[in-house]
Amino acid sequence: MQKIIIIGRPNVGKSSLFNRLARQRIAITSDISGTTRDTNKTQIEIYDKNCILVDSGGLDDTSELFRNVQKKSLDEAKSADVIIFMVDGKMMPDEIDRKIAYSLLSLKKPLCLAINKIDSQKDEMRSLEFKEFGIKNMISISVSHNTGINDLKDFIYPHLKSEILPDSGEYFEDFLENFDENSNIINEIDETNFQKKNINVGIIGRVNVGKSSLLNALVKDNRSVVSSVAGTTIDPVNESFFYEGRVFEFVDTAGIRKRSKIEGIEKFALNRTQKVLENSDIALLVLDANEGFNELDERIAGLASKFELGVIIVLNKWENRAEKDFDEICKDLRDRFKFLSYAPIISISALQGKRVNKIYPLILEIYQNFTQKLKTSHLNEVIKQATINHPIPSQKGKVVKIYYAAQFGFAPPKIALIMNRPKALHFSYKRYLINSIRKEFNLTGVPVMLIARKRGENEEEK
């Protein structure tokens, strides 16, 4: 199985990224430099391909112990198939980072420079200084906010081997002419089961934003204990509700607070919240409309993105707010939560029950979008028109072609682009294609996974 290694100096966030990609807390993280002294390894899945992820010890030669750690990390890099070189975006590049970059470039392996802790426009401008390393693939990320992680997956994915969708031997136009709408493009998915199962909805947010009040309003019962004491809810609280012939399974999770303020059994509650989201289809992200949004709100929002859920952003405590404030607050939200640009925003008062009833049809709509099959001929027409409007940039003078697109999964929708040079599809062009798809299909509230694939493993690029 192919191996991806995360390498870099101490305290740049390697172990946090390792845990993020592994979707579980494996590596110990702390603010103490040199916490990781050995390599952690685990099998992970990047979209539909399996690989081994390696968290290496920090590169530091200040003592004999750390010199041994550095040697082991560099040896692991030599045997890896893909290297992620991680740096601290809050710092300017220095000579040590430069030397590491040059040594990794000399290995002639797929290499990505992941610039972590990019949380503002100022950080983004500073990150441009790392271009001097000469690493072609640079991605700005924030592990704590879960931004840029999908771009990182998009870089890794083409370098991993897997079974390829059956090669039709057709080009784009031939495929559209001969496509049979009754054929089953989505592999082994029981659509009937998705249309009958309970819709699992996780309610997430900071402490004391009104999650328990919202659950009570949604199920029309005092199911969850409500108090002004932050952190009242510890265990997840489940309650079923019937609407339009469907069962909504609501789960009120424990409120999340800053790590430094988590006390006693609340540590277990945080783990249970993540377990709830693993089994959810849709997240209701509850925010306090009367307070400014902060870094913790962004991190909690990142959980919904991390688990690839449908999302509704709920502005609670709207009792005394004027409707004219709504547009201004939405603008602030869109600026902060760019990674949830697809999520609808609704203002409510859970305490007074105002507009709570608007959440039910929105859940149904988003779940329908979450599990829908996109009409393949229409999907390919959208891709074709998008490439006509803005042609795909060539790769060193070589033409880059999309032969056709095929949906291979849903919950959320997963689309494969069958191409001659999948590695040449830039992240920004992929975002352009996703936006083009969103304009034609109702995908409100759900993420779209777009993956570039080659028509055949052994087919030569022409």
Q: What is the CATH number of the domain that holds 400?
A: 3.30.300.20
353 and 315 share one domain:
yes
Ligand-binding annotation for 58, yes or no, is yes
Distances (CA, A) of 340 to 94, 210, 299, 326, 363: 34, 21, 12, 17, 16
Give yes or no for a contact between 371 and 410, defined as CB atoms under 8 angstroms apart: yes
**Exposed/middle/buried for residue 397 (C-beta within 10 Å: 0-12, 13-18, 19+):** exposed
| 194 belongs to a structural domain | no
CATH number at residue 268: 3.40.50.300
- Ligand-binding annotation for 59, yes or no, is yes
Q: Identify the pLDDT of residue 37.
A: 36
- Domain co-membership, 409 together with 354: no
Specify the DSSP class assigned to residue 459: P
Residues 329 and 272 in one domain: yes
33 a known binding residue? no
Q: Quick one: 285 and 359 in the same domain?
A: yes
Q: Is 14 annotated as a binding residue?
A: yes
Please check if 116 is assigned to a binding site.
yes
Q: Please check if 226 is assigned to a binding site.
A: no
Outline where 279-342 has alpha helix (H). 295-306, 324-336
**Which of 370, 386, 421 is at the close of a domain?**
370
CB 200 within 8 A of CB 253: no
- Assigned domain for 212 exists: yes
Residue 165 confidence (pLDDT): 42
* 361/380 same-domain check: no
Please give the pLDDT value at position 147. Answer: 87
Count of H-run helices and E-run strands, the chain: 14, 15
256 assigned binding-site residue: yes
pLDDT at site 360: 96
Q: Is 442 annotated among the ligand-binding residues?
A: no
Is 56 assigned to a binding site? yes
- Same domain? For 387 and 363 the reply is no
Please tell me whether 72 is known to bind a ligand: no
Are 316 and 210 spatial neighbours (Cβ–Cβ below 8 Å)?
A: yes
The answer to the question of whether 144 is labelled as a binding residue is no
Residue whose tokens read 């916490």: 35
119 is in an annotated binding site: yes
On whether 20 is known to bind a ligand per the annotation, the reply is no
Residue 335 labeled ligand binder: no
Q: Locate 208 and state its tokens.
A: 């004391």
Let me know whether 383 and 356 are in one domain: no
How many CA atoms does the CB half-sphere of 142 hold within 13 Å?
23
Using the Cα atoms of residue 7, residue 9, residue 12 and residue 15 in order, give the sign of their dihedral: positive
Is 153 annotated to bind a ligand? Reply is: no
Q: How would you class 206 by CB atoms within 10 Å of its CB: exposed for 0-12, middle for 13-18, buried for 19 or more?
A: buried
Query: Do the annotations mark residue 13 as ligand-binding?
Result: yes
Total domains present in the chain: 3
Q: What pLDDT was estimated at residue 270?
A: 55
Binding residue per annotation — 253?
yes
Range of the domain at 414: 172-186+373-454
Angle between helices 149-156 and 14-22 (to 10 degrees): 80
Whether 12 has a binding-site annotation, put simply, is: yes
Residue 57 in marked binding region: yes
Q: Is 210 annotated as a binding residue?
A: yes
- Residue 10, annotated ligand binder? yes
Q: Is 215 helix (H, G, I), strand (E, B) or coil?
A: helix
Per the structure block, which two tokens stand in for 393? Answer: 């940039």
CB atoms within 10 A of CB 97: 22
166, part of any domain: no
**pLDDT in 10s for each residue of the chain, 462 residues:** 889 999 988 888 888 898 888 876 654 343 434 333 345 778 888 877 888 898 877 666 554 434 555 666 777 888 899 999 999 999 999 888 888 898 889 989 999 999 999 988 888 889 999 999 999 999 999 988 888 998 999 999 889 886 444 443 344 444 444 444 444 444 444 455 566 678 999 998 888 888 888 988 998 865 443 334 344 333 446 788 889 889 999 887 765 554 444 444 334 445 666 777 888 999 999 999 888 788 888 888 888 888 899 999 999 999 877 666 888 899 989 988 888 999 999 999 999 999 999 999 999 999 999 998 898 899 999 999 999 999 999 888 889 999 999 898 888 999 999 998 888 888 889 999 999 999 999 999 999 999 998 875 433 333
> Do 297 and 352 belong together in one domain?
yes
- Considering the domain architecture, whether residues 12 and 145 belong to the same structural domain is answered as yes
The per-residue b/e assignment along 133-165, b for 16 or more CB within 10 angstroms, e otherwise, is: bebebbbbbbbbbbbbbbbbebbbbbbbeeeeb
| 352 and 427 in a common domain | no
Same domain, 287 and 377: no
285 falls within a domain: yes
Contacts of residue 378, Cβ cutoff 8 Å, sequence gap at least 6 = 440, 441
Q: Of the candidates 337, 370, 403, which is a domain's last residue?
A: 370
Give ∠ CA 197-202-207 in degrees, rounded to 5.
170
Does one domain contain both 259 and 385?
no
Q: Which of 304, 337, 370 is the last residue of a domain?
A: 370
**How would you classify residue 85: left for phi > 0, otherwise alpha for psi between -120 and 50, otherwise beta?**
beta
Q: Is 11 annotated as a binding residue?
A: yes
Extract the tokens encoding 3. 């191996």
